[in-house]
Every structure is written in structure tokens, then in C-alpha cells.
């Protein structure tokens, strides 16, 4: 791995075994992109991008002697605004005189081993300096007293480049950063299709693939959270790219608030990708000498198809984004009482649930919503984080002890960022939520959002949670968040800083999470936002697992989990075995299919196991013990998508152990058909030369990957599934 700068050619080359990213400086200092893609071992000249006059209406930079160069057609690293590039800009700065034209030129650079932290923000990291190299390029506008430091880190063993920017005011007057995005990549062609992960509540991360036409396409969130509507992710892929081969460029933003991913194809069939904080609802007062740090964008390059891209994300997020004690630990099998009791539970019920769960091999009981204040429905008490005496008269500590005595750990649900109007906290602090004084405030699920951009509010939440966590043996927290922002205004800031509130909120949230997770390293935190409303890489930094969706229907989950796996590894996506008929969609599904889908992630249970018959309990217990036997493989193995449920009436995926000795294959047929076509599925990731035992037959890895397995011929019901355990026949795991 190297980051080099050739003084003669003025070319920067960032490369590792898999990829190259090349830029060059052009007089008087414009930083231009040259190449991003498969590794080029030697690149010892300047880029050959032709210089011919095709600018017509596109002006040339001031003082330029010919018409053969225009910023409007150049491939740029830091496209500015108001200085002849009419495409989308990376930034917009407004000066006290009301003007905004800014053009950055190269001033200096610095290359060093390792990767810097990002002040107050989650980011990928290294454990050892040798793992990555960083390039910082200082860009200045000589007429404007501003600088932008472009920060690039390339990992040695991963096809990963990260980018962020620090914008700094070098002058003596306040300037206004109206747009401060994190990364721009300009490609010189448009031979791409775009993959995105849109969704809605209970229908998260559905894969959509479409061609990119001329013009601008925006994927974004203006909801104050990354949201279910869009994941802060986009991939550009070649038309021929599929799961197993072809080029894919993945862009993922490590941020949990408003974001924007803009893809623009210009008249010359060049494609620009911009990623960053959404300029809408954003503007930052940059005081003299103040710096604004943008969040980080992860860029993954794969020439091994979408699985190659996803596996790079999976490893990076497991190994260098998630942190703490649980990062490499197998996750406990939990039972959550939400779908079995909703708000209607008491101590006796929970202890029975714990006892019954322990007998089945469940390791942790999570008490969900309704344990605090006077909360018996979703209309009150958020903010009153003290125990509901009517339901739990002996308190949380006693409940937790009783549950522990049954042999399971105890976990608790919180929704710390929210406040109900009907709560003691609201009565004491009617000004602590986001709202515009004098205007009515919108409610969502009958709740407001606490203004965690304010330090006093954060401190209150921290102290309140600490009191609780110190009192009872709580070993897991489900951190929920069930509405999006409106009337975004903070009483903690002057009027001219109100457009900073949405971002300051996210910085405040990160600060609170950092403090809590540092103070309680032994608590396993699970991220939730009505399912996956804020399941993004920013949250992964603080919480190593997330509730992938409130939809627990096995059939809907096939798509949700398939889509989620595009960027997040299965260990991070919690999936629960739930009742049939399903509570969200009313569908009846077999126990086998429900367990197969739930077992394909971070497995848990969401049913009232106390009400099950002996034979149902036997089945649950068998599934739990099967999962335990395969837990390491599922949570830490390589995940391959094989057959897309978005394209077919069936879907398939596979887990393969690191040493390729062991694999677990899952196949799902959605609707049954008469006289149906046979489905032969080719596996992936096995050792071609090894022999594997598959359903009592020995087959070579080569055969399994090229010929595959016939899977659906015996299936005769809707919503069928098949799980096949595959072992290397000469391994001791057999
Ligand atoms: C939304 C979550 O996604 C559910 O699992 C549950 O915790 C409810 N909130 C409780 O209000």
C-alpha cells in the first residue's frame, strides 16, 4: 500500500493490492481526478484527459490563456460554486458581502501512516498504524481566507478508501458554510447503473437498481435521521455486474442525520457523485479560525461483483467501525417481550417468561416498552425513566435479579431522546424539546424530540440513565427512536445558528452515546428506530447490533435481510422468530421458514414461549440449539447472496466459514407452483478442490459452485424453506 506524490508529474496515487485512486494537480493548483478503479501498479505520467475546446458556454478560469480547459468539464476533487462549474458543488460558502464564488487550489499536502480520528464523529479506525495510510491535501482560495483540508485514508488490506473534509475560516469575519459535503468522485463515463436501498417503516432496505440518465438524481433524508426512506448508501455498478462478478463502487456515509447523495451525469456523459450532510436545513456559522469537520464517506471498490463489495463492507464494519467488548463476541440469543405482551405485563409474567426461556436455551430477556412512568400505551411517560410501580412494584433491581436467578440475563428498552407531553419531565421542562417558540409543534406517536444538541439536556439524560444502570444488573439496552424531526429549533442557540440544529443534534447524540458506552463497556447496546429508522454506519460505531425491522414476517424479512446485507453483516442485523399469523402482515407461515429466516441473522425470539405446547417448545429448543451450533459461522462467516428475492419467486444465501470447512445454505420459495420449473442454485466461496458432504452425498466444491444443487422440486407449500448444512468431508467438524 502506498500513497505517493510525484513532484514531476504532480500526481497523487493511492493504491493497495485491489484498487487505485489517482489525482493530479493542474496549474494554478486545481485538484483533478484521474482514475478510480482496479489497481494500476505503475502510473508514472500525468493523466491523458484530452484538452480540447468543448466548453462553448462554459467559461474558463480567470486569466486562462486558451479555451481548452474549463472547470465545467474537468473531473474535480473539490468542485466549487460560482466559478464556472455548473454541476453540483461540494461546498457553498457565503461571505459577509453576500458573494459566494470560491475556487480552491492546492497549497500543500502531508502523507502519514495510520488514520486520524474525526472530532466528535464516528468513523472507521485502525488498530495499528500499518493498516492504513492517510493523505491530507490543503486547498486554499487565495482571495478568500478559507481553506479546505481533504483527508483520504486508504487501507492496506481492504478495498476501502475513506474521505472527509475540514473546512476552515482563516479570516477575521464570520462566514457561512451553506453546504459542506464530504466527498466528490467524478467518473469520466456514465456506463453505470445505480443501486439504492429505499424503504418505509417495516419495509426497509429494498434493493432498487436503475439506469442513470442525464441530470441529477438525489437520494436523501431531511427527516433528522438517516431514516427508513433511504439508507445513506448508493452503489454505481456496470450494467453487466451481478452478485459474483463485475465492477461496483459503493458509497456509504457514516452519519445518522440528514444526508444527501447526488449523482449527476453531465452533457459529456461524465458522472459526478457527491456525498455529505444534506444542504437542506443546514448552514453553519464559521467563526474566525473555526473549523467544520464533515462526517466520513466510505468508498468500496469491487471487481468481484456485489458480494465482493458487501463482504468488504461487512469486514470493515465488524472489524474497524464497531468497537468494544462485543465486537468479536458471539451475541446472546434474546427473547423480547414486545410482541407477546406489548404494554400488558407484570413482574409475574416476566419471570415466567424468563423461566420458560431459560429452559429453551435463551440467554437474555429484554423488557421492552412500558416499564416506566405510567406508560400503558404509547401516549405518555417518555422522559419519566423511573419504574412503573403498578406493573413492577418491587422495582427493576428485584426484577432483574429474579430473571437472573432463572438463568437468563436482563436487558431493558429505552427511548432516551423522546419526551411525551404527558410526562413529569415535560411538565418540569416544557422548553426542552425541539420546537419554534410561539409556533404549534407537530407530534409523532404522541411525542416530541428532546433537544440533545443542548448540553444540559444531554447531562440530564446521562445522569438519569446512570442512576438506573447502577441500580440494576442491566446487561443490554435497546435504544429506540420512534419519530422524525419537525420544527427544528433549539433554545440553546441564537437565531443565526438555528440552521445548525439538526447537525448539532446528531453531534449531541453521538456525545451522549460515547459517554454511555464508555461508562458501561459491559452493556450490549442494540440500535433501534421503529426497526431500522436509523440503522446506519454512524450508529454501528456505538452499537454493534441493530433491530433490522419491526416487520417480523418471514417472507417480508427475506427481502429486508437480503437488502440489508448489501452493506451490513448478518451479525449486526437482529432477526426474531415470531408468531404466525404475523403481527404486521397477518401471514401464516411455517415454523421452519420463520426459524430459517430468523437464524440468518443475529437470532432472537419474540413470542410468548410460556403459551406453547410441549411439541412447539421442543421445536423452538431444537432451533435454538441448532443456531448455537452454527452461531459462529453465521455471525462471523462470509456471507454470499445467491438468488435475489427482488428478482424471483425465491431467494437463497450462504454462510461459509473462514477456512471453507463449513457452510450453511438457505433457500426460500415464496409461492408454490404446480408443474414448476426446477431451480438449480450454484453455491459460492467454497474450496473448489475440497470434498463436501451435502445431504449424505459427497460433492466437490467445484461441482457445488459450478453445477450447484437442485432445491425446489419437493416443495409443495407456499413460503417453504430449506437449510442445508455443508461440511468438508475430511474435516474434523464432520
Ligand atoms: C419500536 C420498536 O421497533 C419495537 O420493537 C418496540 O420496541 C416498540 N418501538 C416499542 O414502543
* 562-579 pLDDT per residue, tens: 999 999 999 999 999 999
- How far, in Å, from the CA of 530 to the mean position of ligand 1? 5
C-alpha–C-alpha distance, residues 159 and 88, integer Å: 27
Q: Whose CA is nearest to atom 4 of ligand 1?
A: 530
Is there a cis peptide before residue 581, judged by omega within 30 degrees of 0?
yes
Which DSSP string do the residues of 546-577 spell out, in sequence order?
Answer: EE--S---HHHHHHHHHHHTTTS-GGGEEEEE
pTM of this prediction?
A: 0.98
Ligand 1 centre and the CA of 398: distance in Å?
Answer: 24
Cβ count near 462 (within 10 Å) = 16
Average pLDDT score over residue span 462-477:
98
List the catalytic residues.
Answer: 480, 550
d(CA 80, CA 72): 10
DSSP state of 404: H
Residue 147 has pLDDT above 70, yes or no: yes
Place of cell 433537544: 451
Distance (Å, rounded) from C-alpha 461 to C-alpha 37? Answer: 46
Name residue 367's beta-bridge partners.
412
Looking at residue 731, its pLDDT comes to 64
As a whole number of angstroms, the distance between CA 541 and CA 511 comes to 12
Which protein residue has the closest C-alpha to ligand 1 atom 11? 369
Backbone angles phi, psi at 314, to 5 degrees: -60, -50
Which stretches of 570-719 are assigned E, i.e. beta strand?
A: 573-578, 602-606, 638-643, 650-656, 662-669, 680-681, 691-694, 697-700, 709-710
Residue to probe by mutation, ligand 1, list 200, 202, 338, 388, most atoms within 8 Å of CB: 338
Query: What does the pLDDT read at residue 574?
Result: 98
Contact between 54 and 67 (Cβ < 8 Å): no
Beta strand spans in 496-646 (E): 524-527, 545-547, 573-578, 602-606, 638-643
* Probe target for ligand 1 pocket from 203, 225, 416, 480, with the most ligand atoms within 8 Å of CB: 480
| Residue 476, strand partner residues | 411, 524
Q: Are 330 and 364 in contact (CB under 8 A)?
A: no
Alpha-carbon distance values, 123 to 320, 373, 547, 721 (Å): 9, 36, 21, 38
Contact 274, 329 (CB under 8 A): no
What is the rounded CA–CA span in Å between residue 139 and residue 151?
11
Write out pLDDT tens, residues 666-700. 999 999 999 999 999 999 999 999 999 999 999 99
Among 596, 599, 726, 600, smallest CA distance to 660 is for: 726
The C-alpha cell that represents 77 in the structure block: 476533487
Find the 412 Cα to ligand 1 centroid distance in Å.
12
145: confidence class by pLDDT, cuts 50, 70, 90: very high
Owner of C-alpha cell 425513566: 385
pLDDT above 60: residue 734: no
Tens digits of residue pLDDT in 251-280? 999 999 999 999 999 999 999 999 999 999
Residue 490 pLDDT more than 70? yes
Interacting residues of 141 by C-beta distance below 8 A, sequence separation 6+: 102, 103, 104, 105, 147
Q: Is the pLDDT of residue 732 over 60?
A: no
In this structure, are strands 697-700 and 691-694 parallel, antiparallel, or unpaired? antiparallel
Q: Which residue among 201, 202, 367, 368 has the greatest number of ligand 1 atoms within 8 angstroms of its CB, and so is best to mutate?
A: 368
Query: Which three cell numbers, joined as nine digits, stand for 207?
Result: 434493493
Grid coordinates representing 271?
458522472
Q: What angle do CA 54, 61, 212 make, to 5 degrees?
A: 50
Percent of the chain with pLDDT over 90: 97
Is 70 exceeded by the pLDDT of residue 392?
yes
pLDDT of residue 1: 60
Instruction: For the chain, give the mean pLDDT.
Output: 97
| Atom 10 of ligand 1: nearest residue by CA position | 369
Residues with CB under 6 A from ligand 1: 338, 368-369, 378, 413, 480, 482, 528, 530-531, 547, 550
The predicted-structure confidence for 154-163, as pLDDT tens digits, reads as follows 999 999 999 9
Backbone angles phi, psi at 333, to 5 degrees: -85, 120
pLDDT in tens, 626-652: 999 999 999 999 999 999 999 999 999
The answer to whether the annotation marks 480 as part of a ligand binding site is yes
| Stretch 427-451: mean pLDDT | 97
pLDDT bin (cut points 50, 70, 90) of residue 90 is very high
Lowest-pLDDT range of 83-87, 446-450, 479-483: 83-87
What's the average model confidence in pLDDT over 376-398? Answer: 97
Altogether, the residues listed in the chain come to a count of: 734
Neighbouring CB atoms inside 10 A of 625's CB total: 12
- List the beta strands (DSSP E) in 19-145: 19-26, 30-38, 91-94, 105-113, 132-141
- pLDDT category, 81, cuts 50, 70, 90? confident
Distance of alpha carbon 272 from alpha carbon 186, whole angstroms: 4
- Give the closest residue (by CA) to ligand 1 atom 9: 530
Q: What's the confidence (pLDDT) of residue 54? A: 82
Q: Find the mean pLDDT for residues 334-347.
A: 98
**So what's the pLDDT on residue 65?**
85
Looking only at the bridges linking them, the beta strands covering 105-113 and 91-94 are unpaired
Q: Cell 505517493 belongs to which residue?
A: 4
Q: How many angstroms separate the CA atoms of 187 and 212, rounded? A: 13
Ligand 1 nearest-atom number relative to CA 378: 11
Mean pLDDT of the 168-195 span: 98
Tell whether 481 is in a known binding site.
yes
Residue 717, pLDDT above cutoff 70 = yes
DSSP state at residue 675: T
Per residue in 217-253, pLDDT (tens digit) is 999 999 999 999 999 999 999 999 999 999 999 999 9
Amino acid at each position: 500500500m502506498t500513497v505517493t506524490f510525484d513532484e514531476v508529474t504532480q500526481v497523487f496515487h493511492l493504491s493497495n493490492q485491489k484498487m487505485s485512486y489517482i489525482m493530479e494537480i493542474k496549474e494554478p493548483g486545481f485538484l483533478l481526478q484521474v482514475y478510480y478503479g482496479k489497481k494500476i501498479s505503475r502510473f508514472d505520467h500525468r493523466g491523458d484527459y484530452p484538452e480540447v475546446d468543448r466548453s462553448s458556454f462554459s467559461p474558463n478560469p480567470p486569466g486562462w490563456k486558451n479555451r481548452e480547459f474549463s472547470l465545467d468539464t474537468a473531473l474535480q476533487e473539490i468542485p466549487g460554486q460560482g466559478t464556472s462549474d455548473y454541476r453540483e458543488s461540494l461546498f457553498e460558502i457565503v461571505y459577509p458581502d453576500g458573494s459566494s464564488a470560491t475556487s480552491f487550489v492546492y497549497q500543500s499536502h502531508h502523507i502519514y501512516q495510520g488514520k486520524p480520528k474525526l472530532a466528535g464523529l464516528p468513523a472507521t479506525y485502525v488498530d495499528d498504524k500499518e493498516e492504513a495510510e492517510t493523505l491530507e491535501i490543503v486547498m486554499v482560495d487565495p482571495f478568500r481566507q478559507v481553506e479546505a483540508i481533504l483527508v483520504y485514508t486508504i487501507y492496506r488490506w481492504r478495498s476501502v478508501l475513506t474521505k472527509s473534509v475540514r473546512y476552515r475560516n482563516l479570516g477575521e469575519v464570520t462566514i457561512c458554510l451553506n453546504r459542506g459535503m464530504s466527498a466528490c468522485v467524478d467518473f469520466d463515463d456514465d456506463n453505470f447503473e445505480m443501486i439504492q436501498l429505499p424503504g418505509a417503516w417495516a419495509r426497509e432496505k429494498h434493493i432498487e437498481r436503475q439506469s442513470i440518465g442525464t441530470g441529477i438524481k438525489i437520494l436523501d433524508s431531511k427527516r433528522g435521521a438517516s431514516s427508513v426512506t433511504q439508507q445513506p448508501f448508493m452503489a454505481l455498478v456496470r450494467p453487466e455486474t451481478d452478485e459474483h462478478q463485475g465492477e461496483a463502487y459503493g458509497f456509504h456515509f457514516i452519519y445518522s442525520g440528514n444526508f444527501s447523495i447526488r449523482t449527476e451525469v453531465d452533457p459529456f456523459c461524465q458522472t459526478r457523485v457527491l456525498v455529505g450532510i444534506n444542504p437542506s436545513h443546514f448552514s453553519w456559522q464559521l467563526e474566525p479560525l473555526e473549523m467544520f469537520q464533515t462526517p466520513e464517506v466510505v468508498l468500496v471498490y469491487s471487481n468481484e461483483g456485489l458480494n465482493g463489495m458487501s463482504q468488504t463492507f461487512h469486514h470493515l464494519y465488524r472489524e474497524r467501525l464497531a468497537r468494544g467488548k462485543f465486537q468479536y463476541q458471539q451475541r446472546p440469543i434474546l427473547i423480547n417481550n414486545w410482541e407477546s405482551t406489548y404494554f400488558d405485563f407484570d413482574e409475574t409474567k416476566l419471570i415466567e417468561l424468563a423461566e420458560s426461556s431459560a429452559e429453551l436455551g435463551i440467554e437474555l430477556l429484554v423488557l421492552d416498552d412500558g416499564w416506566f412512568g405510567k406508560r400503558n400505551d404509547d401516549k405518555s411517560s417518555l422522559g419519566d425513566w423511573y419504574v412503573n410501580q403498578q406493573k413492577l412494584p418491587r422495582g427493576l433491581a428485584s426484577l432483574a435479579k429474579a430473571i437472573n436467578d432463572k438463568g437468563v440475563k436482563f436487558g431493558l428498552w429505552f427511548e432516551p431522546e423522546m419526551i411525551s407531553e404527558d410526562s413529569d419531565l415535560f411538565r418540569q421542562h416544557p422548553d426542552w424539546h425541539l420546537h419554534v417558540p410561539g409556533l404549534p409543534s407537530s407530534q409523532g406517536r404522541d411525542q416530541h424530540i428532546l433537544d440533545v444538541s443542548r448540553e444540559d439536556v444531554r447531562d440530564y439524560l446521562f445522569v438519569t440513565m446512570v442512576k438506573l444502570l447502577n441500580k440494576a444488573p442491566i446487561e443490554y439496552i435497546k435504544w429506540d427512536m420512534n419519530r422524525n424531526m419537525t420544527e427544528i429549533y433549539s433554545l440553546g442557540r441564537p437565531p443565526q445558528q438555528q440552521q445548525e440544529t439538526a447537525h448539532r443534534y446528531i453531534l449531541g447524540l453521538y456525545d451522549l452515546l460515547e459517554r454511555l458506552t464508555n461508562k458501561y463497556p459491559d452493556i450490549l447496546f442494540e440500535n433501534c428506530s421503529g426497526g431500522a429508522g436509523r440503522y446506519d454506519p454512524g450508529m454501528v460505531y456505538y452499537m454493534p447490533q441493530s433491530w433490522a425491522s419491526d416487520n417480523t414476517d418471514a417472507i417480508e424479512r427475506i427481502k429486508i435481510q437480503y437488502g440489508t446485507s448489501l452493506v451490513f453483516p448478518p451479525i449486526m442485523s437482529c432477526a426474531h422468530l415470531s408468531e404466525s399469523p404475523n403481527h404486521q402482515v397477518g401471514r401464516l407461515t411455517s415454523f421452519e421458514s420463520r426459524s430459517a429466516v430468523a437464524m440468518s441473522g443475529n437470532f432472537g425470539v419474540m413470542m410468548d414461549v410460556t403459551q406453547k405446547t410441549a411439541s412447539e417448545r421442543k421445536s423452538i429448543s431444537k432451533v435454538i440449539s441448532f443456531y448455537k451450533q452454527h452461531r459462529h459461522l453465521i455471525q462471523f462467516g462470509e456471507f454470499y447472496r445467491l438468488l435475489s428475492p427482488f428478482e424471483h419467486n425465491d431467494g437463497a444465501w450462504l454462510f461459509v466459514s473462514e477456512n471453507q470447512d463449513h457452510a450453511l445454505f438457505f433457500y426460500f420459495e415464496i409461492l408454490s407452483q404446480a408443474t414448476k420449473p426446477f431451480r438449480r442454485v450454484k453455491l459460492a466461496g467454497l474450496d473448489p478442490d475440497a470434498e463436501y458432504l451435502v445431504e449424505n452425498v459427497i460433492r466437490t466444491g467445484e461441482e457445488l459452485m459450478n453445477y450447484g444443487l437442485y432445491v425446489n422440486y419437493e416443495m409443495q407449500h407456499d413460503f417453504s424453506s430449506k437449510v442445508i448444512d455443508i461440511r468438508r468431508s475430511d474435516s474434523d467438524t464432520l
